Amino acid sequence: MIDILEAVRAFLLDQAGVRAVLDGGIYVGELEGAEVPSMPRKVAVIVPAGGLDNQSYVPIGSPRVDIWCYGKLYSECSDVDLAICDALASMRRTRQAVSSSFVLLQDAFYASGPYTARDPDTGWPIVHRQYTIHAAEIAAS
């Protein structure tokens, strides 16, 4: 089984424009516990958001992901969001290293957003956008 979310994370961290705006990292699932005391700062969290079933014999998936961008101010959240949006818009058939294999990321496009809110538990400002990722469901060689 391949980890598309981890591949998206690795792809984003490989992009200079994304790294330039982050104060912290990009996390899958939730913020790491060690990150919480230093928040709010410019980080992103990628979480699964469902997606479409593969309706083909070709092993290509179309999972949706939510990307939550954090910062001290909405403008910082927006900086992270826009850098990620630009990076994902440029994704074209990328072979991305993940753990001991590779994932073939085809492309990505935003499905909804952005919208601004406050995290209901912490009060931190956030910008959220949802993306559809097209990626091979088998490890690439």
| CATH number of the domain residue 70 falls in | 3.30.2000.30
Q: What is the pLDDT along the chain (141 residues), one digit of tens a residue?
A: 568 899 999 999 999 999 999 999 999 999 988 888 999 999 999 999 976 655 665 667 788 999 999 999 999 999 999 999 999 999 999 888 887 778 889 999 989 989 999 999 899 999 999 999 988 866 666
Name the amino acid, one letter, at 42: K
Number of domains in the chain: 1
Q: Could you tell me if residue 106 is inside a domain?
A: yes
Q: In which domain, by residue range, is 99 found?
A: 4-136
Q: Could you tell me if residue 115 is inside a domain?
A: yes
Q: Could you tell me if residue 51 is inside a domain?
A: yes
